[in-house]
Structure formats: C-alpha cells, structure tokens
Structure 1
C-alpha cells in the first residue's frame, strides 16, 4: 500500500493556510513558539554579560568638606580646613577580569546551544504530534470505509432474510458491529481534537483552529545509518552535548577565578585639597593646597574560611558538570538506540502489513462475501473477517505513524545532519 495525499495541494508555503505538511508545521513553530522566543531572548541577554564583568569597576569621585570649625564654619580660620576633590579606582589582581569575562562568554555560548537544543526538541514535538494526527486521520478514513462496507453487509443480509435465505440475527449482528465502529469513531475524533490542540499550541495558534494535513507520498521506509555512525554524529552535532561541554569549560574558568581570588585587589586614589586663608606671620604667604595619593590592597585575611572554601566549591561544580556531560552522553546514546529499535520494528511491521497481511485479509473478505451470497459461509465469519481486516488496516497506519515518529525522535537525538544512508 502507498501513502497518498488526502488533500489537494501538496505543498505548504503560506503560514496562514490550514493545510499543513510536517515541514511547514515545524517552520511555523520555530518562528512563532513563545517558549523558544524566551530562550532566544535569554541567550541575547547573556551575550551582554561578558563585557560587563570583564570591565574595571566604576571609579569613585569624592567631594569632601574637611575640618570646618564648628564655632564659625569659616574656611580661613583653621589651616587644615579644606575642600577635597578626589578620584579612586579599584584594580582587581591581574587575570581576574579576563577569567570573569571568559566564564561569562562560555555561559553565553552554552545558552546559545540551549536555544539550539530547544529548537531540536520543539521540532521533534511538532513532528511526533503531526504524525499522531496523521494516524488518526487515516484511522477515521479506514473506519468510514468499514462502516460503509458493513452497511452493504446489512443490505445483503436484509435481502437474503426477505427471500427466506438468511437470518434476522445476521442483520442484528451487522448493526451491532456498525454501532461499535461508531463508538470507536467518537473516541478517535476526540483524540484528534486533543492532538490538534497540542499542535496549535506548539505553533502559537488558537487552540480551536482547524488543522488539515497535507499527507506526504512515501514509497517504503528509508534506510538509516548504523548505531555507531549515529553515536558519532551525535557527539559532533547534538546541541545538548555541546552545551554540557561548554559548561565544563565555564566551570574550569570559575575554578581558576576562585584560585586567583586568593590574591589581593588594589585600590588607587588621588585627592586634591583646596585651602584658603594665610599662614601664620612667621611662615607668611597664603596657605598651599594639598595633594594626596592613596594606595590600598584587599588582604585575604579569612582565606581559610572564604577563598579556600570557594575553591573547594568550584572544584565540586567542575566535577558535577563533568559527570553531567558523561550522563548526557549516555542519555543521548540510549535515545538513539531506542528510537532506532522502534523504527526498525515499525518498519518491519509496515512491510509485513503492506505486502502480506492486508492483501491476504482483503482476499479473505472478498472470498467470504462471495461464499456468503451463495450460503456457503455463515454471516458471523464474514463479519469477523471484515473486522479483522479493519484492525489490520489500523495497525498498518499505526506502524507508518510510529515509524515516522521514531525517525523524528532519532533526528532529535542526533541533533543535526542526515541520519539516512
């Protein structure tokens, strides 16, 4: 059997149309999904951090009124009365600012990979939801086709009953099976609505928007790369692994910064004091202005309780990030292996149903129907053979959907690049 379109128009180029190919749904979601947009804004915000933390602290400008006598507040009365204008700047120990900027840069790069990872996951969610809706559409089509066949069976049974060659229970049996199909149809319609709501949400559309799928045409299932090749591809391409690797580098920079924090920061300041009035008679002349230079250093007096503990903390954080990278690689490989296994299983089922079981079941139904019309087969066996065919058709479409969902998960697990041979 071939997967054929259910709607006219095989491509989706306009975002406003309700007819969606799986690729078009992914494009819309990647452009409009608010969660992805929030991640992008976080990344852009973090890009502004390195320059901030790698710059010297803002200098201080001081204006002081010094040594004014409280009895008169006269600037000329006392020799040390002055207006001071000063400037001071803190200089972190050499290398600290570079390490802060380096760590922040790594964190910004990691945030960029987290955006890529979100895009991968979002595309996977859209594809799997799309293919679930696709299965439900095919199931509803198959159900309608079988309902029509059962109505034909009822008509045949009525004709035989009216001519005295059939039984009334055959009519009732067919009507019962028809009612069962109607009940199943109600459930399938509800399931489709739920999946449509999910897909609309992923694309940032109103939940009640109608979704009509443009079904692709596929002839068989593609061959995929070996697991070893997929593992190697994921090591180079999966954004989550890249994010973890960059986080390890950021942790190393933070550890180096903690070790450098054992060395003092420096403070340099200058002060100019303006005085008025005259010196005592024996000194003569106007009072000279004063100029001061100040140099200070931060003493790591409590290094045993602060800096040493910070180094231990950053060592532990580095180890945590390294273990997280190892764990993530295991998770990715498990996801690849699981998706590849699911794909191979669904692919084998698809081929079995398409080339063996369904053609055989169709032939069985046709043979049963011909035999029933000449009273060589009872009606119960005819109905059972039709219901068996119906169930096999559902399993066929389920295998198609599950195979495509497995491919979507496999693409997401690898990250980027072609997974096909």
Structure 2
C-alpha cells in the first residue's frame, strides 16, 4: 500500500514537472517576434504580460541618454547655422585729439582738430570659409547621432538581456522547486521504509542532506532572479513587476555572418569614429581656408565744432601672414594628423569588433546545436529512462531509488539546457541589437 501511495505521488510530481516544462516550451514557441509600436506597447503596459518588444519600447521612452544625444545634435545644428553667417558688424565710437592742457583742456569742441566719431566695421569672411566652419558643426551633429545609436544599442541589449535573464531564471527556479518536491517524497519514502525496517537510517539522512543542498541552489537561483528583476526595472521602471510574456526565438538574428565585414562598418562605435574622422577632415578644410585672409571694411563719420566741417573716413584691413610655414601650415599639418589618427582608430576598432562579433556568432551557433541535441536525444533519453524506472517500480522489479535517480537526471538535463539557453539568449541579444535598425547603410 505504501509503495503504491508513493508511486502515485511520484506520478503526480512527474506530471506536474512535465506540465511546467510543457508550458515553458509553449512560451518559447510563442516567441516574442511580433513588432509593437511604442503606442501599442504603452497601451498594453498595464494590461497582461510584458513582452520583449514592449520592454524595449518602454526603455526607449524612459531613456534620458537618448534625449541627451538629441539635444547634442540639435545644439550642433544650431551652431552650424550660426557659423555659416557673416560675423556681426562692429560699432565704433571714438573721440580723438582732445586737448590735454592749456585753456581748452579736455574741451570736445574748442579745438578744430578734436573730432567725435561714430562708425561701423564689417569683416567679410569668404563664403568658402564660412561653409567649411559650418560643416564642422554639421559633422559634430552626425557624431551626436552616432552617439544616439550607441545609446540605443546599449539600451536595447541591456533591456533584452535583463528580460531574458529573468525569464530563464524563473524557468530554472521552477525546475529546482519541482526537484525539491521529489526530494521531499524521497525523504518520506526513506523514512517510511526505515520505520518498517526495510531501509537503513542513512538513506533518510542522505535524502535530507540532498534537500538542504537543493535549498541552497534554490536560494542562489532566487538571488539571480532578483538581480535580473532589478536590472529590468532599471530600464523599464515599474512595468518590470508584470509577468513576462515569454522567451524569444533564439535561432534567428538580424546580423548575418555572410557580409559581416560590411555590416560592422555600421557598428555604432565604428560609426562614431567614422564621423570623428569626418570632423577632422572638415577641420582640415577650415585650416586650409584660413590660409587666405579676410578683409575688414570700416566707415567712420566724425564731427568737429560747429565752425568746422565734418569728416568722413573709410578703411580696410586684413591680417598679414608673415610666417605661414610656422603658423598656418603647422595648423594645417596638425589637422591632417588628427584626421589620420581618427582613421587609424576607426580601422583598428572595426577589426576588433569584427573578431569579437565572429566569436559571438560562433558561440551562439554552437549553443543552438547543443540545445538541439538536448531536445533531439539527451532529454528524450532521460525521459525514457524515467518511464522505464517507473514501469519497473510499478511492476515491483525496480526500486524507488532508481526512479528518483532517473528523475533527478532528467531534471538536471533540463537545467543544463536552460543554462545554455540563458547564455545563448545573452549572446543573441548582443548580436540582435548590436546595430540599431535605425542605422542606414
């Protein structure tokens, strides 16, 4: 009677475990590949489960880093507009030839040479120079846009990883808790057999020790789950408390291995250095234009005493480049050197990201094969072993220990698959959001 009771409990526990895993598979198959607009995400924020696409939309809505880059781009564009205009004219006020001594000391009208003048001067910067200066700020606006792409990549990757970490931590926790239930059954069976004199007391102590170790594993997993929850809350706010809609399809990525070399030219960090090179080249053009001096024209109207005629003056000025080899040419050479530096850094960073991304892709694809092996052979084999052990126990040809050992192996195999899936999910997020979809080739 005792054996049948334990067998029924084991069957129920196995059924519950299978249900948990079945639900996990359903959630994984219902991959969150549906694209949501920001408005749809916000409408569903307070309703039902939180999907990955909704989490990403909420993270973008909350991000101050994106707003900062937008402000930087707007500032650079405004500076470009200002740089394209002529310098402001200068108002000149002067009083000259004031008597310093004698009977007319400090008089502004007694001496015919004293003049009170008002004038205006204007520097006429050449159009090519103004366009070159404006182009520097336009390129700075492009750097700010590249900075926004960097912020988008970081935000989406971190949000997706936090979402997936929480999802798989929950799955692992569910498996461990189901295994804990079976350990409690093992303790109950061992204790009953010990009391009936059919098993030693050491079996009871061994089962209780294993239960204690399982509790430690559950605590560790709960800590990981709490950390993932905190990280998700950092990106999406209070919406992180909502239940998750499910996993994503990890078998597909927007980043293709075929033309990876060309795609990584659009990597946000590489793109930022490409724009930095453009700024340096724009600075080169400015320095080239500055080798030609600008003229400043002025006009002055001067009045004297009422008995004297009024005066009108015109003037023109420009800087004299007396040492171009050591001044203007050196400034131009420095700008060219900065452009060469930016180009070299961009090429080196592209190589670094190319190697890193290839490693990510290779590990991701290898993990996908391993996951497929678990689904195709490893897990089915452990299931068959469990079924055989249950059948043998039901037919009184097997032992309870064999059943529990088979169940533990099956659960451990599922745990290993979930751990690999979690690692694969983090790699998938790195690859999927490495280059924001907003970046145009």
TM-score normalised according to structure 2 size:
0.82
Contact 1:4-1:217 at 8 Å conserved across structures: no
| Match of residue 98 from structure 1 | 131
Deviation at 1:198, TM superposition (A): 1.6
Deviation at 1:197, TM superposition (A): 1.5
Query: Is the counterpart of residue 361 in structure 1 residue 382 in structure 2?
Result: yes
Which of 29, 43, 51 is the aligned partner of 2:81?
Answer: 51
Contact 2:253-2:428 at 8 Å conserved across structures: no
Matches of 1:318 and 1:217, distance apart in 2: 43
CA deviation vs aligned residue, 1:72-123 (integer Å, no higher than 9, x gap): 4434321121210110112235521111111211121221122122112210
Secondary structure of the 2:209 match is helix
Matches of 1:18 and 1:182, distance apart in 2: 31
| Match of residue 301 from structure 1 | 322
CA deviation vs aligned residue, 1:323-342 (integer Å, no higher than 9, x gap): 12212321332233122112
CA deviation vs aligned residue, 1:143-184 (integer Å, no higher than 9, x gap): 111111112222222333333322322222222111111111
Secondary structure of the 2:312 match is strand
Query: Is the counterpart of residue 125 in structure 1 residue 147 in structure 2?
Result: no
Matches of 2:202 and 2:278, distance apart in 1: 76
Contact 1:231-1:414 at 8 Å conserved across structures: no
Query: Is the counterpart of residue 82 in structure 1 residue 111 in structure 2?
Result: no
Deviation at 1:191, TM superposition (A): 1.5
Gaps of 5+ in 2: 1-21, 35-40
Matches of 1:199 and 1:217, distance apart in 2: 16
Which of 348, 361, 364 is the aligned partner of 2:369?
Answer: 348
Which of 4, 15, 32 is the aligned partner of 2:62?
Answer: 32
Number of aligned residues: 403
- For the structure 1 residues 119 and 152, does the alpha-carbon distance in structure 2 shift closer, same or farther, using more than 3 Å as the test? same
- For the structure 1 residues 253 and 417, does the alpha-carbon distance in structure 2 shift closer, same or farther, using more than 3 Å as the test? closer
| Match of residue 213 from structure 1 | 244
Matches of 2:400 and 2:45, distance apart in 1: 54
Matches of 2:111 and 2:238, distance apart in 1: 79
- For the structure 1 residues 329 and 403, does the alpha-carbon distance in structure 2 shift closer, same or farther, using more than 3 Å as the test? same
Deviates more, 1:72-81 or 1:258-267: 72-81
Deviation at 1:297, TM superposition (A): 0.7
Matches of 2:298 and 2:410, distance apart in 1: 90
Contact 2:153-2:436 at 8 Å conserved across structures: yes
| Match of residue 3 from structure 1 | 25
CA deviation vs aligned residue, 1:208-266 (integer Å, no higher than 9, x gap): x6353221475x8348775123433444x444443333332221121121122222222
Matches of 1:150 and 1:370, distance apart in 2: 20
Matches of 1:172 and 1:365, distance apart in 2: 24
| Match of residue 277 from structure 2 | 248
Matches of 2:258 and 2:283, distance apart in 1: 35
Richer in helix (by share): 2
Gaps of 5+ in 1: 279-286
Deviation at 1:23, TM superposition (A): 1.1
Deviation at 1:365, TM superposition (A): 3.3
Which of 342, 356, 362 is the aligned partner of 1:321?
Answer: 342
| Match of residue 403 from structure 1 | 424
Deviates more, 1:91-100 or 1:10-19: 10-19
